[in-house]
Structure 1
Amino acid sequence: MLKFANQSHAPSWYAATANDATRHPSLQGTLDADVCVIGAGLTGVSTALNLAERGYRVALLEASKVGWAASGRNGGQLIGGFACGIDTFAQFMNEGEVKQMWDMGLETLDIVKSRVAKHNIDCALTEGYFTAANKARDVDELKRWRDDAARRFGYDRFRYVDADGVGRFVQSGRYPGGLYDPDSGHLHPLNYTLGLARAAREAGVQIFEDSAVMRIRDEAGAHVIETAQGQVRAKFVVLACNTYLGALAPALARKIMPVGTYVIATEPLGEARMRSLMPAQAAVCDSRFVLDYFRPAPDTRLLWGGKVSYSTFAPPNLGEAMRRDMLKTFPQLGDVKVDYAWGGYVDITMNRAPHFGRVSPTVYFAQGFSGHGVNTTGLAGQLIAEAIHGQAARFDLFGKIRHRDFPGGATLRTPALVLAMAWYRMKDLL
C-alpha cells in the first residue's frame, strides 16, 4: 500500500523526510519593501536570498507553502547546463556569447554546491551523473557531445563509458553505453529549498505563506502587490511563479507549458542491494526524448521518475504504472513494493531554453527551466539580483533568446502537444 504523509506538501517521500517544519505567517496589512518576490520555490527563494545579501529589503509571497510546487517534488537531478542544446543559443548569439552561456551552465552547479556548504543545508547532495544510451545511435550522439564540449569550450570532464563499464552505474542489460559527468549529481530538492529559505530568513527576507497575489497595480511610483488580507509596496517586483503564473502576466504564461512528471519511491532495499543496483550511487537518466530518470536515496530506496505527460492528466494507477517502467530496467526488483508515488508540473518553453527577462524596467521574471530547475534557478536568482543592483549584462544575455508562444491558445495547445509527444514516443521506439 502506498504511504501518504499527512503534511501540507504533496504526499511524497520528500515531504515525509523534510527536515524543516517552519511555517510562515500570511501577509496582513501593508508592508514596504525594496523588492517583492512572488513565488517561494527555488527561483523565488534564490532571488530573495541574493537580494538580501546585497542589502535589499525583500518580501517573499507564496500562495501555498515554501517549496510546495515543482521545487519540492522534482526528481532531484542536478544537471549542469540547460535543457536545450547549446546551439539553441547560437541562433541568437555570437560564439563568444555562446561560451558565456556554457560557462553559466557550469556555474549553476557551483552555485548549488556553494549554497549547500555555506548554509549547512542537509539535502543529501551527491556528485555523479550518468546519461545512459538507449540505442547504438545514442552512443554516437553522446560521444559527439563529449567531443564538442572539449573542442569548443575546453571542458574535458565528460567520460564515455562502454557497455562493459555501464554496470558501475546501473546493473541492467538495457544500455549499450553512456556518458558520465562527475560534476552534476543529485539531492533532496525539498530540503534544499527549505534550507535556502532558512538562509533567506536569516539574511532578513520576510516570507509569507498562504498569501496568493490577486493583483499588481502601480501607485505613486511604486508597485502595489495585493493579497486577500494585505499588500506590499515595492520599487521592484520579481515574478517567480512558473506554471502558476496565470493571470498575473498572461503574455508570459503563453510562453510556457505545464508538463506533468512523476516519481515513485520503493521500499528501502538495504545498503547491499541498493549498491548492487547502482554501485557508483550516481543519478541516471536515459537518452530518449521521453526519458526515465532514477537515483538512489539515502535510506536505500530507489527513486524512479518518468511518465512525462503533456495532457496534465496523471497516469491511472500511478504507482503500479511507474513500477512497470522500473522493472524494464531492473527486472530483479520484481519483489519490491512501491511506498510513495507523486507528481507535479514543470514548465517548458518551445525551444527548452530558459526564459528570463523584464515585463517593465522594474518587473523581472524567470521561467521555462524545462526540467533543469534544480540548478538553473540558482543562476536565475543570482542574475536577477545582479540586474536589480545595476549589473545587468549577464541577465540581458538571456533576453537575446526569442521565445514563441505555444500554438493553439489555452484551448488547443494541450492537444497539440499530446500529438507531438506521441510522435516523439514513436521515434524513441524506432
Structure 2
Amino acid sequence: MTLPPHTPSYYAASANPFPEHPPLQGEVTADVCVVGGGMTGCSAALHLAERGYKVVLIESQRIGWGASGRSGGQLIAGYATDMSNVEKHVAPEDAKTLWDMSVEAIDSVKEHVARHAIACDYRPGHIHVGVKPRHERELHDLAEEWQRYGYGGLQYLDRAAVRERVDSERYTCGLYDPAGGHIHPLNYTLGLAAAAEKAGAMLYETTPMVRWEKGDPAVVVTPQGRVTAKWVVMAGNAYLWETERKLGQTIMPVGTYILATEPLGENRAAKLIPQNEAVADILFVLNYFRRSADHRMLFGGKVSYSRIDPGNVAESMRRTMLHYFPQLSDVKVDFAWGGYVAITVNRLPDFGRLAPNVIYAQGFSGHGVGLTTLAGRLMAETVAGQAERFDLIGRLPTIPFPGGTLFRTPALVLAMAWRRLRDAL
C-alpha cells in the first residue's frame, strides 16, 4: 500500500526511512487513544508506552505531516511571550515552575535524541537578533528576565559581536543562548514515532478522527473503524479544530513559510553562521534561519494571518532572505513550502480537558519543538494520575479570538497590519 506523501519540502526530501502504517480498520481497544501524529502525539505515545499503557495513535495524514515536519526546527527556551505576562496569572512559585518546565522542554528534546539515537542533525546554540536600536533594550530586558529565573550562560552581543556570529549588516544586537539549538524536525518526529512503536504503541496513518463520543471509556470514530479507550489525548494542534470545534475557540491556524537554498558548500555556508547556531529576530512578524546539515540556508518567516498563501512562496521568501543576506543573490532556491502553526491570543500554550478522560495540548505559538515534546510527557503524567504539572499550564488563561471562528480572521489581519507597521518603524 502506498500512502500519500508528505508536503514537498527539504525535510521531506531528506527524511530518514520510515515504514508506512496502514489506516485503522475495525474496532480496537486501548488504554489511551492519541489523536495526532506530530511531536505532541508521538511524544505522548512514547511516554505512555514506556509506562506500560496500551497506546493507539491515529494520524489523519502521515506521521509528521503538519507543523512538526515543516517548522524551522528551532529549540528556544521560555514561551512565546515574556515571563512578565506569565507572572500576571500565577503565583511566583508557579511562575518559577513554569519557567523550569520550559527549560525541561528543550532538555527533553536532547534527551530523546541521545537515548533513542534519533538522527535529526541536532546542533547546539540559539541567537535572538535585533534589527533596530530599541531591540538592544529589549534583548537586555529578556536576558535579565531569564537570568532572574536562574538561567545561565546567556551572552549579550553588540553589533560587532553579532556580526561575528551572523554575516549580515542588518543586525544591531543579539542574545546568545548555548542551551538552545536546532534540529531536522521531521526526522525528529519520525524518530519519536519509531521509539514509541518500539515501546509498544500501535500507529495508524491516513486515519482521521471523524468524531469522538464521551464516556468511560470514550470512543474515537474513524472512517473505517473505532477506538475504545480509557483516555483520549488530542494532539492535532492547528489541524484538529475543525473536527473538534471547541479546540478552535482559543487557537488560530496561521501560515508560515520556509525556503531551502541549493547546497552552498561547507565554506560558504559556514561564513554565514560560523558557529552553526539557529537564529531568529525579535520582530513581531519574525524571520528565522539556520544552516542545514548539507550546507544550505534554511530561511523562514512571512507569516500569513489570512490563511492566503503568497502567490510564489519561493520568490517571496527569497526577497526577504536577500534583504538580510544580499550575498546570496546568485543562489538558487531548491525548496519552498509552508504550513500552519497554532497561535493563541496571549501566546501562552492552551492545555485542558474536554472531558475528565479527554485531554488536549495546543497553541504553542512558534515555540513548539520543545514545548510539544514536554506536552507529551505531561499528558502521560496526567493519565498516570500525576496531573499537577499539566493542570498548572491548564490554569493559564485561554482567551477566545474576537469574532469567533467566522470573523476572527479579518479582525486578526487588521491587528497584524498594525504590528507589521510597528516592525517597520
Q: Provide the TM-score with structure 1 as the length reference.
A: 0.97
Helix, strand or coil at the partner of 2:274 = coil
Post-superposition CA distance 1:249-277 (Å, at most 9, x none) = 31221110001000000000000101111
**Equivalent residue number for residue 170 of structure 1:** 166
Question: Aligned partner of 2:418: which letter?
Answer: W
Match status 1:117 vs 2:114: yes
State the number of aligned residues: 423
**8 Å contact kept, 2:292–2:298:** yes
Q: Extract unaligned runs of 5+ from structure 2.
A: none
**8 Å contact kept, 2:66–2:239:** no
**Equivalent residue number for residue 144 of structure 2:** 147
**Equivalent residue number for residue 279 of structure 2:** 284
Match of 1:46 among 38, 43, 46: 43
**8 Å contact kept, 1:216–1:248:** no
Alignment map for 1:176-195 (pairs within 5 Å):
176-195=172-191
Instruction: Give the Cα–Cα distance (whole angstroms) in 2 for the partners of residues 115 and 249 of structure 1.
Output: 30
Instruction: Give the Cα–Cα distance (whole angstroms) in 2 for the partners of residues 261 and 114 of structure 1.
Output: 28
Match status 1:208 vs 2:194: no
Question: Aligned partner of 2:25: which letter?
Answer: Q
Instruction: Give the Cα–Cα distance (whole angstroms) in 1 for the partners of residues 205 and 420 of structure 2.
Output: 39
Post-superposition shift, 1:351? 0.3
Question: Aligned partner of 2:417: which letter?
Answer: A
Match of 1:375 among 366, 370, 374: 370
Alignment map for 1:11-410 (pairs within 5 Å):
11-150=8-147, 152-218=148-214, 221-410=216-405
CA distance change for structure 1 residues 133 and 218 in 2, over 3 Å: closer, same or farther?
closer
Instruction: Give the Cα–Cα distance (whole angstroms) in 1 for the partners of residues 223 and 138 of structure 2.
Output: 52
Instruction: Give the Cα–Cα distance (whole angstroms) in 1 for the partners of residues 19 and 82 of structure 2.
Output: 39
Helix, strand or coil at the partner of 2:335 = strand
Post-superposition CA distance 1:374-394 (Å, at most 9, x none) = 110011011111111011111
**8 Å contact kept, 2:248–2:405:** no
Question: Aligned partner of 1:154: which letter?
Answer: G
Post-superposition shift, 1:411? 2.2
Post-superposition shift, 1:168? 2.6
Instruction: Give the Cα–Cα distance (whole angstroms) in 2 for the partners of residues 287 and 80 of structure 1.
Output: 14
Question: Aligned partner of 2:224: which letter?
Answer: Q
Helix, strand or coil at the partner of 1:109 = helix
**8 Å contact kept, 2:23–2:204:** yes
CA distance change for structure 1 residues 146 and 15 in 2, over 3 Å: closer, same or farther?
same
**8 Å contact kept, 1:7–1:15:** no
Post-superposition shift, 1:7? 6.6
**8 Å contact kept, 1:146–1:156:** no
Post-superposition shift, 1:156? 2.4
Post-superposition shift, 1:247? 4.2
**8 Å contact kept, 1:128–1:181:** yes
Helix, strand or coil at the partner of 2:421 = helix
Post-superposition CA distance 1:293-313 (Å, at most 9, x none) = 000001110000010110101
Post-superposition shift, 1:75? 0.8
Post-superposition CA distance 1:131-189 (Å, at most 9, x none) = 11111110111011112222x21222211011111123211110111100100011100
Instruction: Give the Cα–Cα distance (whole angstroms) in 2 for the partners of residues 37 and 206 of structure 1.
Output: 10
Post-superposition shift, 1:427? 0.3
Q: Provide the TM-score with structure 2 as the length reference.
A: 0.98
Percent of aligned pairs with the same amino acid: 53
Post-superposition CA distance 1:376-422 (Å, at most 9, x none) = 00110111111110111111111221111111122211111111111
**8 Å contact kept, 2:211–2:244:** no
Helix, strand or coil at the partner of 2:80 = coil
Instruction: Give the Cα–Cα distance (whole angstroms) in 2 for the partners of residues 49 and 233 of structure 1.
Output: 19
**Equivalent residue number for residue 9 of structure 1:** 6
Over the aligned positions, Cα root-mean-square deviation in angstroms equals 1.2
Q: Extract unaligned runs of 5+ from structure 1.
A: 1-5
Helix, strand or coil at the partner of 2:226 = strand
Helix, strand or coil at the partner of 1:246 = coil
